[in-house]
């Protein structure tokens, strides 16, 4: 249900509950990095008997700036949005992919001009339309000096491919410096691999959220999520409410993170 569909009295109750949730988070240990698997856009469109998946993707894109604003206002530093996987590029209908690429192109430009947010593309450009590649590069360039919320747009992204790319980068760098395989074997550590990931230098996600009721990673941040907390929301992404997000953060704050101890 969209906010405009909520009856007035119920809407007031939502508002009161939302403020109560926000107050409950004051002074709590909140996540620094939230990763969101944006899921359910197509099913949202089908549930409304809309003529194409593009309607769902547009609704999801319209929700993204709102979601990022919620994160920003809580003081979260980094948000990663899983928008288009490398598997999608080979398994989705070409017409749907073209429409989705146009939607993400518009989204990148919109985010680049909003607040003091910094936008970064994480993923590969191989297989992406030129207009999308150009838009992602332009958003990165335009926001490179911004110091606000850091937004990773995972587009053309695959976790296995990212790890393989990191290893290739390490091998090339080591080979350029004239090092041997034996020397590399001694130098190779988890920290070195992490430095060569698409998100090198960033904190790993503390909290990974997935919408639409699905409970799987789908090749998302396989390396970085080793110690992440997970939270699954039943709502399709376009229907995500701030109270759903605040519940996820409250749940995170209540957990005891052991990191293997």
Closest of 137, 21, 157 to residue 81, by C-alpha: 157
Q: Are 129 and 98 within 8 A, CB to CB?
A: yes
The structure's pTM equals 0.92
- What is the per-residue pLDDT across 82-134, written as a single tens digit (0 to 9) for each? 999 999 999 888 999 999 999 999 999 999 999 999 999 999 999 999 999 99
Catalytic residue positions, numbered: 39, 88
1 pLDDT band (50/70/90 cuts)? very low
The stretch 202-216 carries a mean pLDDT of 97
| DSSP E strands, 123-224 | 150-157, 207-210
Beta bridge partners of 37: 82, 210
| Mean pLDDT calculated for residue range 147-152 | 98
**Averaged pLDDT score across all residues of the chain:** 94
CB atoms within 10 A of CB 74: 15
CA distances from 31 to 143, 210, 249, 251 (A): 23, 15, 7, 11
| pLDDT tens-digit series, residues 7-55 | 555 678 888 999 999 999 999 999 999 999 999 999 999 999 998 999 9
Question: How far is CA 35 from each of CA 87, 164, 180, 238, 260, rounded to the nearest angstrom?
Answer: 19, 21, 37, 17, 21
So what's the pLDDT on residue 10? 67
Cα–Cα distance for residue pair 204/191, rounded to 1 Å: 12
Strands 118-122 and 78-85: unpaired
Top-tier CATH class for 29-158+204-254: alpha beta
**Does the pLDDT at position 230 exceed 90?**
yes
């Amino acid at each position: 249900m969209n906010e405009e569909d909520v009856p007035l009295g119920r809407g007031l109750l939502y508002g009161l509950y939302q403020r109560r949730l926000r107050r409950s988070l004051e002074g709590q240990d909140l996540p620094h990095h939230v990763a969101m698997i944006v899921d359910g856009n197509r099913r949202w469109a089908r549930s409304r008997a809309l003529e194409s998946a593009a309607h769902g993707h547009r609704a999801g894109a319209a929700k993204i700036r709102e979601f990022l604003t919620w994160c920003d206002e809580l003081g979260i530093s980094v948000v990663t949005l899983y928008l288009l996987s490398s598997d999608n590029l080979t398994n989705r209908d070409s017409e749907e992919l073209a429409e989705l690429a146009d939607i993400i192109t518009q989204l990148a430009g919109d985010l680049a001009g909003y607040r003091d947010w910094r936008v970064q593309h994480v993923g590969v450009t191989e297989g992406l339309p030129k207009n999308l590649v150009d838009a992602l590069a332009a958003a990165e360039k335009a926001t490179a000096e911004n110091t606000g919320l850091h937004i990773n747009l995972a587009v053309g992204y695959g976790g296995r491919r990212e790890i393989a790319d990191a290893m290739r980068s390490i091998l090339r760098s080591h080979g350029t410096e004239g090092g041997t395989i034996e020397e590399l074997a001694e130098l190779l550590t988890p920290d070195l691999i992490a430095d060569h990931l698409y998100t090198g230098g960033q904190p790993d996600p503390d909290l990974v959220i997935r919408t639409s009721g699905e409970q799987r990673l789908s090749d998302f941040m396989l390396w970085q999520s080793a110690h992440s907390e997970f939270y699954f929301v039943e709502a399709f992404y376009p229907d995500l409410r701030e109270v759903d997000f605040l519940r996820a953060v409250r749940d995170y704050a209540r957990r005891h993170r052991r990191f293997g101890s």
